Amino acid sequence: MTRRAYWAFTAMLLLATHATATRAQKPEDTEVWTPVPRIVTPGATNAAPPSDAIVLFDGRNAAEWVSARDSSPARWTVTNGTLVVNKPAGDIMTKRSFTDFQLHLEWQVPANITGSGQYRGNSGVFLAFAPPNGFYELQVVDSYENTTFANGQAGSVYKQYAPLVNAMRKPGEWQLFDVVWTAPRFNADGSLASPAYVTVFHNGVLVQDHVALKGVTKNTGLPEYKAHGAAPIMLQAHGDPSPPLAFRNIWLREIP
Residue spans per domain, the chain:
1-31, 54-254
Q: 137-182 pLDDT, tens per residue?
A: 999 999 999 999 999 999 999 999 999 999 999 999 999 999 999 9
> Is the distance from CB of 176 to CB of 190 less than 8 angstroms?
no
What are residue 205's DSSP bridge partners? 202
* CATH 3.30.1360.230 at 54-254, yes or no: no
Question: Which has more confidence, 5 or 218?
Answer: 218
Q: Which of 13-17, 125-129, 149-153, 233-237 has the lowest mean pLDDT?
A: 13-17
Q: Could you tell me whether strands 197-202 and 174-182 are parallel, antiparallel, or unpaired per DSSP bridges? A: antiparallel
Please tell me the pTM assigned to this model: 0.88
pLDDT of residue 187: 98
What three-state secondary structure class fits 118? helix
What is the distance between the alpha carbons of residues 94 and 63, in angstroms, rounded to a whole number?
9
Residue count of the chain, please give it.
Answer: 256
22 to 10, 14, 15, 30: CA distances (angstroms): 18, 12, 10, 13
